[in-house]
Amino acid sequence: MMYVILGCVAWAAGWMLNVRLANGPRSDERLMQILIPLIFGATIIVMWEMFVIGFNVNPVFLPRPTDIIARMAGEGPRLWADFHQTIIKGALSGYLIGGLAAFAVAILADRSEFLTRGVIPVGSFMAALPIVGIAPIFVKWFGSDWESKAAVVAVMVFFPILVNTVAGLRDTTKMQRDLMRTYGAGYWTTLIKLRLPATMPFMFNGLKIATTLALIGAIVAEFFGSPTVGMGFRISTSFGQLALDMVWAEIVIAALAGSGFYGLVTLLERGVTFWHPSQR
Amino acid sequence: MVCARGMGMYRSILPILTVISVIMAVWVIAVVPMNIHLTADQAQRDGIAVTPDTPIARRNVSGISLVVQNPHLIPLTYVNTRPNLPSPHQVGGELFASIIDQKITSKRSLVYHGWVTLAPTLLGFAIGTGLGIMLAVGIVYSRVMDKSVMPWAIVSQTIPILALAPMIIVVLGAAGIQGVLPKALIAAYLSFFPVVVGMVKGLRSPDHMQLDLLRTYNAGASQGFWKLRLPSSAPYLFASLKIGISASLIGTIVAELPTGAKAGFGARMLVGDQYGQPILSWAALFAAAITAAALVGIIALIERGALRKMGMMSA
């Protein structure tokens, strides 16, 4: 019971501290904008730890955060191998294949106004569908190693990137295109100097949506067959062994990988579209 | 305006049909090389001449060259009972047989499986949307919540939670929570964050001018909420609802996939896969796609009606 009270006290203290900080004079500074959510996250973890001890929760249902951290520290090489198999081989290669294919199709479709009008609605329709459902089929087609995961990921990321890129290619105004024509620029020059740069903010929108999809596809596809390595494989087998701390360790890695991947794409976006109003 | 809008739709119908028929054509053509190995094996057992004439020799030949060497087998690739890639008419036939030709109480009816998936999706979506709107109101009116919770709401969208759906189902099942509720919780979780993020944006969408105007009218905080902030958040809300409902449906299906669920679209996809009946999997996949499209379509219809009534969309 002590621990439960301690957990509540920690929560109240963290919340009060945040109230002071958020209503304080320096709350709009960058440091505070990072510090306040961190304090909030920390109080939740402390409360989690205290409640699990206090209520004597069976670790099969919910392990303690300290157990998870200990597991992560002790299983470094194995977690790295899983990360490498699922994120780098499966998700990243699928993301690149799907992204490049979407980009190529977008450029092709853009040559015809007629096709563009068809591709956007069909593509956004496809993007809303439960495409992960193809995972068992693809595992059968491409075998259980990373190729099938990359294929599932490629299909999942294809449509959001396609729709956004096609929409972006249409974004230039008539004035801008006329200006290019007065310069005597042909299709390719106009594409490279005007329309592709104008597409980038849109395309990065699609690329950012696709990062999470890529991880989901790679992990879920491993539930249907995988070599004895990979995050999805580890999650489902550790689960079978009731090693919930290992499952959570993989969840933490997946969360970090997800935000890291998103962050990387955002950084890249900032570099490429530095001229766009949203970045200034 | 109705006219222009109608014209816009009309102008898009032909391009959309073109794109769809290109996709269908690719599918129909792909059926042949995808199934030719299976078909050749079967044809040989039935006494039809096939080159090369041993299965082992055929394994080293690509699908396309096998087709070129055996053009007489092409029609047979479309009627394989256990194809690698079923043809459109096989999937369509299975859809018809399992939706219209079955009693909806039958275990073979996709309507039955659809309801098993749809019920937790809708329940979860309702819970997730309700909680999401409440949290968004909290975030907009409380500086502390804004500063401490909002960053996490945004970060959480980059985390592949969906991949953990099957585990969550099993944990809750072990804790004695079964039936509709565990799947609904996942659906709720997935629709929750899009609604929070969209509603926060929507509730903040009135600009200073409008807020100042209300202040000059001597309107209180609650009037400001009901008369200005809430109505102006409607377009944002509907955009998030469309994302949320498809996320909910995908979550429920993934939750059903590897957990040994006995009914539902996800279970159906897996059953077809494990018992060598790929046509069943494909039919379930398409039925899920149709359901997703219908759900998003219904919300889009409500959106049009509501926004038009509120005068936010030209009639």
B158 assigned to some structural domain: yes
pLDDT more than 90, % of chain A: 4
Do residues B167 and B280 share a domain?
A: yes
Do residues B131 and B275 share a domain?
A: yes
Residues 138-157 of A with CB under 8 A from B: 140-141
pLDDT given at position B131: 92
Query: Angle at CA A166, nearest 5°, toward A162 and A172?
Result: 150
Q: Is A58 on the interface with B (CB under 8 A)?
A: no
For residue B108, which of B276, B272, B256 has the smallest C-alpha distance? B272
Distance in Å, alpha carbon of A69 to nearest chain B alpha carbon: 19
B92 assigned to some structural domain: no
Domain with B41, as residue range(s), is: 2-85
Of A132-136, A204-208, B6-10, B299-303, the poorest mean pLDDT is in B6-10
Do residues B216 and B249 share a domain?
A: yes
Q: List b or e across B98-129, with b for residues whose CB sees 16 or more CB atoms inside 10 angstroms.
A: bbeebeeeeeebbbbbbebbbbbbbbbbebbb
Q: Which residues does chain B have within 8 Å of residue A40's beta carbon, measured at their own beta carbons?
A: 148-149, 152
Cβ B149–A216 below 8 Å, yes or no? no
pLDDT band at A101 (very low <50, low <70, confident <90, very high): very high
Do residues B130 and B65 share a domain?
A: no
pLDDT given at position A97: 92
Q: Which residues does chain B have within 8 Å of residue A224's beta carbon, measured at their own beta carbons?
A: 257-258, 273
Do residues B297 and B179 share a domain?
A: yes
Do residues B238 and B140 share a domain?
A: yes
Report the largest interatomic distance among the alpha carbons of chain B, rounded to a whole angstrom.
Answer: 90
B19 assigned to some structural domain: yes
Q: Is A165 on the interface with B (CB under 8 A)?
A: no
Please state the rounded mean pLDDT for residues A80-86. 85
Q: Which residues does chain B have within 8 Å of residue A141's beta carbon, measured at their own beta carbons?
A: 84
Do residues B132 and B8 share a domain?
A: no
CA gap A181, A175 in Å, rounded: 10
B101 assigned to some structural domain: no
Last residue of a domain, one of B52, B85, B118: B85
Over its length of 315 residues, how does chain B's per-residue pLDDT go in tens digits?
334 444 455 677 888 888 888 888 888 888 888 877 777 777 777 777 777 777 777 777 777 777 777 777 777 777 777 787 888 888 888 777 777 776 666 667 778 888 888 888 999 999 999 999 998 888 888 877 777 788 887 777 777 777 777 777 777 777 777 777 888 888 888 888 888 888 888 888 887 788 888 888 887 777 877 878 888 888 888 888 888 898 888 888 888 876 666 778 888 887 777 777 788 888 888 888 888 888 888 988 898 888 888 877 654
Distance in Å, alpha carbon of A3 to nearest chain B alpha carbon: 23
CB B288 within 8 A of CB B253: yes
Q: Which residues does chain B have within 8 Å of residue A27's beta carbon, measured at their own beta carbons?
A: 143, 147
Of A85-99, A253-267, B83-97, the poorest mean pLDDT is in B83-97
Do residues B26 and B154 share a domain?
A: no
pLDDT given at position B10: 65
pLDDT given at position A65: 81
Cβ B16–A60 below 8 Å, yes or no? no
CB B148 within 8 A of CB A39: yes
Cβ A254–B159 below 8 Å, yes or no? yes
pLDDT given at position B6: 45
Residue of A nearest to B143 (CA): A22
B32 assigned to some structural domain: yes
Do residues B184 and B257 share a domain?
A: yes
Do residues B126 and B81 share a domain?
A: no
Residues 109-148 of B with CB under 8 A from A: 143-144, 146-148
Q: Is B246 on the interface with A (CB under 8 A)?
A: yes
Looking up tokens 């996939």 gives B257
Give domain limits for chain A.
Answer: 2-57, 72-279
CATH classification of the domain holding B283: 1.10.3720.10
B91 assigned to some structural domain: no
Question: Across chain A, what does the average pLDDT equal?
Answer: 82
CB A68 within 8 A of CB A125: no
pTM value is 0.81
Distance in Å, alpha carbon of B243 to nearest chain A alpha carbon: 8
Task: Please write the tens of the pLDDT for every residue from A18-62.
Answer: 777 777 777 677 777 777 778 788 888 877 877 777 777 777 777
- Please, which residues have CB within 8 angstroms of residue B35's CB and are 6 or more apart in sequence? B77, B78, B80, B83, B84, B85
Cβ B144–A22 below 8 Å, yes or no? yes
Interface probe with A: pick from B18, B24, B139, B144, most Cβ of A within 10 Å? B144
CB A90 within 8 A of CB A218: yes
Residue of B nearest to A133 (CA): B285
Cβ B160–A236 below 8 Å, yes or no? no
Q: Return the CATH superfamily for domain A72-279.
A: MetI-like (1.10.3720.10)
Of A181-185, A194-198, A236-240, the poorest mean pLDDT is in A236-240
Q: Is A24 on the interface with B (CB under 8 A)?
A: no
What is the DSSP annotation of chain A?
A: -HHHHHHHHHHHHHHHHHHHHHHSTTTTSHHHHHHHHHHHHHHHHHHHHHHHHHTT--TTT---HHHHHHHHHHTHHHHHHHHIIIIIIIIIHHHHHHHHHHHHHHHHHHT-HHHHHHHHHHHHHHHTS-GGGGHHHHHHHH-SSHHHHHHHHHHHHHHHHHHHHHHHHT-S-HHHHHHHHHTT--HHHHIIIIIHHHHHHHHHHHHHHHHHHHHHHHHHHHTT---S-SHHHHHHHHHHTT-HHHHHHHHHHHHHHHHHHHHHHHHHHHHHTTTSGGG-
Interface probe with B: pick from A38, A158, A223, A252, most Cβ of B within 10 Å? A223
Q: Is B192 on the interface with A (CB under 8 A)?
A: no
Residue A100 has pLDDT above 60, yes or no: yes
pLDDT given at position B258: 65
Nearest to A133 among B143, B175, B269 (CB): B269
* Token pair for B170: 């099993």
B298 assigned to some structural domain: yes
Residue of A nearest to B175 (CA): A61
Cβ A122–B16 below 8 Å, yes or no? yes
Do residues B75 and B139 share a domain?
A: no
Do residues B54 and B187 share a domain?
A: no
Q: Is B285 on the interface with A (CB under 8 A)?
A: yes
Q: How many domains are there within chain B?
A: 2
Q: Which residues does chain A have within 8 Å of residue B16's beta carbon, measured at their own beta carbons?
A: 117-118, 121-122
B94 assigned to some structural domain: no
